Amino acid sequence: MRTLLIAALALLATACADRSVRATGPIQSGPWVTVAAEPVAADPTRPERTEFGRFRYAGGLALTATDSNRLHGLSDIRLLPDERLLGVTDEGDLFEARLRLDPAGRLAGLDRARITPLQGEGGGPLGGKLEADAEGLALLRDGSRLVSFEQRHRILLYPADGRPPRVVNSPAATFPPNGGLEALSADPARGPDAWLAGGEESGELWSCTLRAPCRSLGTLAKPFEFGLVAVSPLPDGGLAYMIRAWDPLRGSRIALILRNAAGAEVDRLELARPLTTDNFEGFDVQPRKDGVLRFLLASDDNFSTEQRTLLLAFDWKP
pLDDT of residue 127: 81
pLDDT per residue as tens digits for the range 118-157 = 999 988 889 888 899 999 999 999 999 999 999 999 999 9
The SS3 of residue 289 is helix
pTM, to two decimals: 0.90
Q: ∠ CA(97), CA(255), CA(195), 5° rounding?
A: 60
Q: Percent of the chain scored above 90 by pLDDT? A: 85
Whole-angstrom distance, CA of residue 61 vs CA of residue 208: 34
Mean pLDDT of 62-82: 94
Length of the chain: 318
Give the confidence band of 287 by pLDDT, cuts at 50, 70, 90: very high
Q: Go through 251-289 and write b for each residue having 16 or more CB atoms within 10 A of its CB, e for each that does not.
A: ebbbbbbbbeeeeeeeebbebeeebbbbbbbbbbbbeee
* 8 Å CB contact between 111 and 126: no
Mean pLDDT of the chain: 91
The residue that leads in pLDDT, 14 or 78, is: 78
Does residue 26 carry a pLDDT above 80? no
Domains and CATH numbers, the chain: 2-316 (2.120.10)
How far are the Cα atoms of 72, 142, 153, 193, 291 from residue 157, in angstroms, in the given order? 23, 12, 14, 11, 32
Give the confidence band of 297 by pLDDT, cuts at 50, 70, 90: very high
pLDDT of residue 283: 98
